[in-house]
Amino acid sequence: MAGMENLRRIVDQICRDKGIDRDLLIDAIEEAVRSAVKKKYGGQRDIEVQYNDELGEVEVFQYRTVVEKVVNEAREISLEEARRRDPEAGLDDDIGERLTDISELGRIAAQSAKQVIIHRMREAEREVVYEMYRDREGTVVNGIVQRLERGDMIVNLGRTDALLPRDGQILKQRTYKQGDRIRAYLQQVRRSRSELAEEEAQGRSRYRDAQLILSRTCNEFLVKLFELEVPEIAEGTVRIMGVSRDPGFRAKIAVSSLESDVDPVGACVGLKGSRVQNVVQELQGERIDIVPWSPDPVKYVCNALAPAQVNMVEVDDEHKTLLVVVPDDQLSLAIGRQGQNVRLAYRLLGWRIDVKSQQRYTNLENPGYRSLLLVQGIDENLADRLFAGGILTAAMLAESDTNELVRLLKADEAVVRVVQERAREVASPVLSGAEAAESAASGAETLAGQTEVENDRPDAEQSGSAATGA
């Protein structure tokens, strides 16, 4: 092809600039020329392509078999013609001849050769990138924002680009501009296009043909940041037992220590909060609660719900459920904004957590209150409203003044009458008349006694420290 006299120099330069193995590049060139020659002369010819390193050019040879009578000129040569080229040629010998006009392969053939070389070079580059980064998978890397593509961020890591997909970005941090420095967790290093094609076919790939996938929202990123900031974690003295995140807003991290004289929470917080604040700054203000881990689910959930206080915890080992009772004024704190605190605690423990106020829990201990919940259409919020209004049982609900119920339930009269009818169905076989009143009074006395006992109990163990970033 044109410019073959400069081929050796071009090969050396590409290998030096791209870091591609020289043999791989030469194989790509030979394959490209072979493809181009077959396009020009047809696929029936026996073609051999070889790169001559001394001459710095590609040599193309055509081989034909010596026969008495030529039937296929593309693969056969007559004995007479063969002996003109080689006097010692005999029947069934393979005679090779060099093609001297490969520089005139034609535009289509040359374009085909170019595409083959580009494809092979890209595959070689991907292999170089894979070998370079496969041992860095699962680490924190630094890069520079190159550009944004449909919400995804292309980050330059030095030798190559990586993809920080939209779902790997923290929502309130999507203010990075071209040229900004950024840190992220190297989540995945993929090897070849065939591997990517397989992922696409199985519906496992959402990241097009990107080879390096980054993330700032995964739990592993938070863990790695603490490993970089806290020597005790890097050394293994302090262990991270669990992580839950609402990326960009709040996170909880549970820690334990292998040595009794090392405070795991204090080690993560650092002097005057310096260590945890460095992590908070990297996450641009994501609040981080550091809680001590415990094998006891009761202690663990008390720590995880901090800073909310906990009065009592009931454990259901079979269903891995925890009923947590908190003071009335601590309910909103325990649940958190839009349920954030209890949701993060649930992810941390892996147990279902049901948080109730002390008043709600006390009400649930009352048989009359429970009878209200048996009425179809009455949930705990409506039952609380009825209870506060002096309607203590399903029987009392059935017999109450309709207008008063309209006010309490904030419902239409027709709806209230339906509810009362359902209350009669619940109350009739259980409680009626004086029995209902007596049961309600008994339940109230029992309730008062239980409340006194609960008030005499010490508070449950709270978290040793909760570090939060502003």
Domain ranges of the chain: 4-127, 137-217, 220-356, 365-456
Q: For the chain (length 470 residues), average pLDDT per consecutive 10?
A: 56 69 75 76 75 75 83 79 79 76 57 67 78 91 91 89 91 79 93 60 60 94 95 94 93 94 93 93 91 94 92 92 93 91 94 91 87 87 86 87 86 87 78 44 38 35 32
Own/partner long-range contacts of 454-457 (Cβ < 8 Å, ≥24 apart): 454/311, 454/312, 454/358, 457/311, 457/312
220-356, CATH topology level: GMP Synthetase; Chain A, domain 3 (3.30.300)
**Sign, Cα dihedral of 213, 218, 221, 227:** negative
Q: Which of 251, 152, 227, 142 is nearest to 186 (CA)?
A: 142
Q: What is the pLDDT of residue 201?
A: 54
Which residue is listed with tokens 């944004």?
148
Helices 22-41 and 7-18 pack at an angle, to 10 degrees, of 130
Q: What is the pLDDT of residue 200?
A: 55
Letter for the amino acid at 38?
K
Q: What is the pLDDT of residue 291?
A: 94
**Architecture of 137-217 per CATH?**
Beta Barrel (2.40)
C-alpha 231/C-alpha 244 separation (Å) is 22
pTM of full prediction above 0.85? no
CB contact at 8 A, 29 and 132: no
Query: For the domain 4-127, what is the CATH code?
Result: 3.30.1480.10
Q: What is the pLDDT of residue 216?
A: 94
